[in-house]
Amino acid sequence: MKRLKEDIVQELEFRILSEKYDPGERLPPERDLAAEFAVSRPVIHEALLILEGRGLVTMRPRHGVVVNDFRQEGTLDLLTTLLLHTEEENLNPHVLSSLYRVRALMESDAAVLACNAGKTADWDLLEEIMSFDHHLSNPSELALRDFRIHQQIALISGNIVYPLLINSLRPVYLEYLKNFYGKKGDSREIRDLQRDLLVCFRQSDGEKAGKIMKKLSSYTLE
């Protein structure tokens, strides 16, 4: 029964986050949801309480369950929920675009910080991860290499939160890049930019590194 309740929570979350319900709109009555999911009303009620705890709905006695604007009521806990739904084809594209834009801003700043914090050993390891001498053709391997590059830069930056955010974005990041490299292959333009970025790091040119990283990240905004 616990698994079933979690499935109901996940389905209703998806409907809210994909904006199948507008903020201020009431969810169907508990009895209707119980019939739809073929469960008892107490199970539906418990699922709705979980959604209320996550800031997605407000339960109003005699007025039903009202959908909240998750942008106003949600917390960082909701980010994890958003990421769990990123592989759903019907997720609001604006959610994905927002995640990509946050990543682009974060990684540009991480590159600037890394220039000031990094040491020769850090750049040697980064160059090893970039593996310029190895040509990869598998989209999943290319995506993982790209992720590890950005993860390492976040670690070098010294910002405690950036690596955690990068790791949280991993499912979205890898899924997008796998599709990207599946179409583009091992892009020469990206590899050239990565080489230029490494040169900037070794020369401690933070301003130029930030600009190059912004250009690299822009591929996810196309």
Instruction: Show pLDDT as tens, one digit a residue, over the chain (222 residues).
Output: 566 888 899 899 888 887 889 999 999 999 999 999 999 999 999 999 999 988 899 999 888 999 999 888 776 667 666 666 655 455 556 766 777 788 889 999 999 999 999 999 999 999 999 987 777 788 898 999 999 999 999 999 999 999 998 888 787 778 778 888 888 777 788 889 999 999 999 999 999 999 999 988 877 555
Q: Looking at domain 92-221, which of 3.40.47.10, 1.10.357.10, 1.20.120.530, 2.60.40.420 is its CATH number?
A: 1.20.120.530
Write the single-letter amino acid at 84: L
Q: Could you give the residue range(s) of every CATH 1.10.10.10 domain in the chain?
A: 2-72
DSSP 8-state secondary structure symbol assigned to residue 26: B
- Half-sphere exposure of 209 toward its Cβ, with a 13 Å CA cutoff? 23
Domain 2-72: give its CATH code: 1.10.10.10
Place of tokens 């739809």: 36
Cα 17 to Cα 25: distance, rounded to the nearest angstrom: 13
Task: Give a three-class secondary structure readout of 84-146.
Answer: HCCCCCCCCHHHHHHHHHHHHHHHHHHHHHHHHHCCHHHHHHHHHHHCCCCCCCCHHHHHHHH
The encoded tokens of residue 170 equal 């991993």
Question: What pTM does this model have?
Answer: 0.72
pLDDT of residue 85: 62
| 3-state DSSP assignment of residue 67 | strand
Q: What is the model's pLDDT at position 202?
A: 96
Q: Where, residue-wise, is CATH 1.20.120.530 in the chain?
A: 92-221
Distance CA 83, CA 169 (A): 7
